[in-house]
Structure formats: C-alpha cells, structure tokens
Structure 1
C-alpha cells in the first residue's frame, strides 16, 4: 500500500475518533482561535525547534480538517525565540498582546523559565512541548500561586538523569564518570540532576567540565577527564557542542561511552560527529518506528508535509504534535477559549487523547502538570548508522505495547 494511501486511511480513522469525542461545535462568527508557538527556528537549537513546530503544524492541520475548534479554525502564530532568554520573554509578551488563547512550544530551559511567567501572569495556559528542566512546571506552585498555568509533555531532567546514571553505573558497571555540561540553565540544572542521581548511589563524578555554547576546543577538558580516570562521559548540552566532544574523543583516540540527555539525538550532533556519534546513548520519548497506528500515521504525515522521511529531532516533533492534540481536547471540553476554563479542562481531561508518545488518560490534575512522571514512557536510544534506534530490544517491545 502506498505511504500516502496508508497515511490517509490512518489519519481518517484518528480524525473520526477525535470528532466522536468532541462536543457539538458552537455556532457563530468569532474569527479564528489564535495559538502561540514559540521556539528556536534558527541557530544551534533549531533542529529541535523546527521539528517541534512541524509536529504542531501537522496536528493543527488535522484539527482544522475535522472542523476546527468550537466551530472556528485554529491559526498558529509562530515566533522564533532564537534560544535567547530575553528574546523568548519578548516573544511571549507579543503573542499575548496579539490575543493567543494558549501557548505551545518552548525548547530551551532558560527561555522557558524567563518567558512562561508572562503566560502565568496573563492567565493563559502554556503546554511546554520540549524544554526539560525539572523546574519548569514547578515555577508557579501553591500557595504563592493558587493556579499553575504551565503544563508539559516532555520528559523532565530528573527522570532523564536517573536513566543516564542507571545506564552508566548499573547496566555497564562503571564507577568513574565525568560530567560535561554547557553553561546555559539547561546544562547547569542538568548537571545538578546528574550529581544527585550519582550521589544516590554513593558516587561522585571524577571530573565536571563546563563549556560555552559554540566552544570548539573540547580536547583540553577531555584530557583532564581522561587523566582523572573517567570511564564514561555523561553530557548535558546541545548538538553542536556535543559533536565537538565526540570528535575530540576521536582525536584523542579515547574510546569510552558517551551517554547523555535526549539532545544526543539531535541531527546536528549526528551529522557533525559522523562516525564518532556511533554508540552514543540517550533517553528518548519517541523513536521513529511505526509500531502503533498513531505513530505510523504521524510518520506518514511528516513525510507528506516535509517531503523528507527524516525527522531532525523525533521526540521534539512527536511532543509538539501531542501538545497540540491535548490543547485541542481541553478547548473542546471547556467549550470556551477562556484561559481559566482551558486550564481547568487540562487538569481534568475526561476523554482519552490518542497521541504519538502515548494514549493520554487524565494526564494532568491540579497538582501534577507533567504527562511523564516515571521512566515507563521513556526509552534508551542509541545512534547506529547515523540514526537513533532502540538501544534495547525490551524497550522496543515496551514501546509497541498498547
């Protein structure tokens, strides 16, 4: 069966299911429903941002093909935050002034912490599609903030750090590890999570190396880590600098495992490191295999919309897609675009949402604003032949289970 035909059949079934769950559309000519989408669409973080944006676009197109929301079309207002904290804050304020009823996106932890406060102040819900810093959904908690308008679909760094350390210490039996992290909020908070996960096992990193964005020389800190007896490198950074680490290890002819956060799946790490990326391992919420009908439809839609089967950062794309579906379900249930009504609906979604990452059944409540609360929905990926695949067959089987 042709890919396009398969895509149409699968999407038709998914859209029919979505329509069956929706309340009757509201009549009226109120104009489109505006949803803000922000992320880094240029620069070193752009593979994540572009993947996320395309995932959101695919989901929004499906929502509109099914009649929109409350009888109105969805329009995405997209803004490039350039992975800069100050730009991210400016972008969110602009989107709120333009009348968005909710926000989606945000890739970089620092940008999220700097910008989501404006959504909170305006009482406009935001579903963070990608950023993983553990503080993100805890920035506005009671009693200081009676209602929290920040939700998330990505896997937070506390969970990821636990998986990274488990892979290095328990599965591989290593006891001497080095931590390499970038100087952003993401890197520094990720380092903290790694150090806590190591401390729970009575282990301290033999070296901790902090590097800047666009830093080219990783050989010098790698030499220090090697001299300290490191048996593995644990990372928290993004693609370009992670590639410098892998390439620096190759120049030193130092072959130790490279295990890090989910960003080791970024296309600009894999492409820039080339053969030196092989074997790198990282937690992933989505590895692009058509092992469920929803994933098959999504992968077909990606190729249909982009003309390219390769997704630069698959988890970012899948999480973007799911965040749009969850928001759409909340707006349908609320029967309103009021921010408080949407937040209340997100905290009590009564009908399941068939996503790419998972089937969401009451994913949030008034206390928990995370869809992923354990490692059960996270898998260990590995770079093989220039693509990310399941590191363990048991994870592949688990991901295929209903």
Structure 2
C-alpha cells in the first residue's frame, strides 16, 4: 500500500507521544460536510469518496496509534443555512476531532464563524472563493484550504488567453455570490493585462438555455470566452456555444471539469479548457493508484470531480501527519501549530507538499502549481501534451505574503503554452 510507509514512519516516532494520547478505544472522528445531493453533488460525492479512500488505507494499517478514523458525514445540499446547521452540529454537539468540507463558497462563508469561534480546525478541499482564507488573519485562523482560490484561477486563465495572442475576452458569469466574486477577480486580472472585457453578460444559476446570451456575446466581436459558474451551468454554456456555432476558445474555472458539465452539455464541452490542480496521469504512480482505489468504491465514468476527490484525499493525509507532528496534542491549537510547521514532505496525489501551510499562509496551492486542462475523448486531459510528461517534476509551492498580494502576481506560462500561442 503506497502510503503505509508514511504511516509506519510516524508510528516509529510514537515513543515520544504521551500515554494519554494513545486511547485506542476512541476513533478519530472527522466531520465531513459536502453537497451530496443537488447541482453540486458531483464534486461533493467525489470529495466524500476521496476521503473514504484515504480513511480505508489508514485504517488498514492501524489508524493513528491504533485509533481508527471515522467519517461523520453530512449533506449541505449546497445550501448555506443547511451547511451552517451541520457545522454547528459537528463542532458543538458531535465534537469531532477536525473538519473537512465545503464545495460551494457561499455555504463555506456562512459557516466559517462556527469553526473560528470554537477554534475547530476546518480544511476546505473544494470551495475556491478568495475570501474563504482571507476572512481571518492566518496567524489566528483555524481555516485551511487545499483547493486553488479564485484569484489564482482567474489570473491563470487571463494569462493563458493573453499568451495565446487573444485580447477581446467575453465574460459570461452567473449572478450568485460565487459569480459576483469571480467577476471582480476576472476584471482585476484583465486590468493587470491592460485589458477590459469585450462584453459581460450575467445569468441566474439554474438556467437551461443561454443561446440568446451567447448570440449577444458572439455579436460583440470577442475572440475568446470565459464562462464563470458551477458545473451544470458550464455545461449549458458549452451547449449554447455549439448551438450558435461560435468557435472561439472557451475557458472556465475548475467547475468546467465536473462530470455535470459534460453530461448537461451532451459532450459539447469537448475542447474547452479549464484550470486544474490535478489530472489523470498514468505516468505518476500515486495518481494512478489513487484512481484504482477510487474505482473500488465508485465506478462512475467520468469521475464527478477528480480534483475534489484528490484534494480531499490529500487533506486527510495532511491531517494524519499533523497528528503525529503534534506529539499527541490533538487539540485544535495543537493541530493548527502542527499544520503550520510540518516536519517533513508528504507525497500526495495533487502534488508533493513540502510545506502546505505556514503561520502566514493557509492556502496549500500556489499559482505555479496549476495546469491547463481540457475535455478530450470524454475525459479530462492536459491541454498541452508536454505538460503530461513534465507533471512528475515537483512544482514547489511559492511563498506569498497573503492571498491579497498573491492575487496580483502573474502566473508563469509553460514553454509548451507559449509555443502553442504562436501557432
């Protein structure tokens, strides 16, 4: 088992752990809050399965000093009030050891105060709103994240478009809180490239057809399109772009990679491009092994959201490492300190984490760790074939002062992307 060596190494150091911490009668309880039903269920269920794969692996080799891991699962239905209620339940009543969750920024933002006020660790593995890790100063915050925040994704997309020689960008953005924040990040990224949107059109989440809006954008003379919304609506965008025969490149955030986008579009997402932290890669053992273990639990094809699954899987292992680094202090304060000061490297599915977090930075993903993905033959793939071969080269996290200052830093574009821009 590929992570058994990691666990064994920590156990070898367990002599230093106080005896009071070695209570094998009590499981380590992990609060899990994800949208398991509704429009965001593809990423929520993938995240749940990713967590289960990690827990199964850990429990098969004895858990944490004999204490098995146990998931306490709740469905937030992508509803902020439901998410808030579950957060209170898990933290105040269930008193779980730590929490992992949230796929929707609006749901996460409404629940954050529960974790911060109670000083209960929360690792956000899917939701990407920039404000999630910016609401509280990192030095005081109990909120961590392993997904790529929107300020990074928007800058990445704009850089990819500019390096392709395009300059007339149309924006099709939903009217949700996620869309509102994303639009601000997109406009800021365009401004840094000395560009203004060629056209901006808004729509409500839940829409089933965007042909009229797409015709409007097509008539604007735009040479590229960024659709900023969640999975099902990304599918509507792709279907409508095909319906009006508008052949400009289509870009989107990670939601464009969700299975719901593929399904709703009837496969019309083919060739569209999106931000990714991880993609299926047969050349990487830990990547392919994870996908095989995932398939033992779920046979879905394509996977609802590989990013959700892999980021959640890695988060469980990062928490396991923190538990050993804390020398048995499983209080939230002890785990926070351990997360911010890791003793070693963890080779995960998304990346190799040398120092995922620090006292000044609670975001595990930096700009240089992103990939441009695409839909190809009904599956996610690297937009640039050379990136697939280079993916095994570790992209070490760049140190940023804060999410706010990091947002103004342009994303480095690979040589492959630069070469493609000349074609």
TM-score relative to the length of structure 1: 0.92
Tell me the distance in 2 between the aligned counterparts of 1:29 and 1:52: 27
Matched, 1:289 2:285: no
2:343 corresponds to: 350
SS in 2 for 1:277: coil
State the partner residue of 2:76: 81
Q: Deviations over 1:286-317 (max 9, x none)?
A: 10113222112211111122245642211111
- CA distance in 2: counterparts of 1:92 and 1:234, whole angstroms: 33
Equivalent position of 1:147 in the other structure: 140
For 1:288 and 1:272, the matched residues in 2 are separated by: 22
> Aligned pair count?
386
Gaps of 5+ in 1: 1-10
Residue 120 (str. 1) matches residue 126 (str. 2):
no
Partner SS state of residue 75, structure 1: strand
Alignment of structure 1 residues 181-192 onto 2, 5 Å: 181-192=173-184
Partners of 2:214 and 2:300 in 1: CA distance: 36
Superposition deviation, residue 50 in structure 1: 0.6
Shift of 1:397: 2.4
**Structure 2 residue 6 is the aligned partner of structure 1 residue 17:** yes
Cα RMSD after superposing both structures: 1.6
Q: Retained in 1: the 8 A contact 2:74–2:86? A: yes
Alignment of 1:168-183 (within 5 A): 168-171=161-164, 173-183=165-175
Q: Distance in 1 between matches of 2:267 and 2:53?
A: 32
Q: Is the 8 A contact 2:147 2:365 kept in 1?
A: yes
Q: Structure 2 matches for 1:1-400, cutoff 5 A?
A: 11=1, 13-22=2-11, 23-24=13-14, 26-96=21-91, 97-141=93-137, 147-171=140-164, 173-308=165-300, 310-334=302-326, 335-374=328-367, 376-400=368-392
Q: Do 2:235 and 2:261's aligned partners in 1 also have CA atoms closer than 8 Å?
A: yes
> Alpha-carbon deviations, 1:159-211, whole Å to 9, x = none?
1111111222222x111111111222221111111111100111111211221
Deviates more, 1:235-244 or 1:258-267: 235-244
Moved over 3 A (4+): 307-310
Q: In structure 2, what is the equivalent of residue 7 of structure 1?
A: none
Q: Contact conserved, 1:261 with 1:282, CA < 8 A, in 2?
A: yes
- Measured in 1, the distance between the counterparts of 2:335 and 2:250 equals 42
Contact 2:88/2:114 (<8 A) preserved: yes
Q: Distance in 2 between matches of 1:262 and 1:28?
A: 41
Structure 1 residue 18, shift from structure 2 partner? 2.3
* Structure 2 SS opposite 1:181: strand
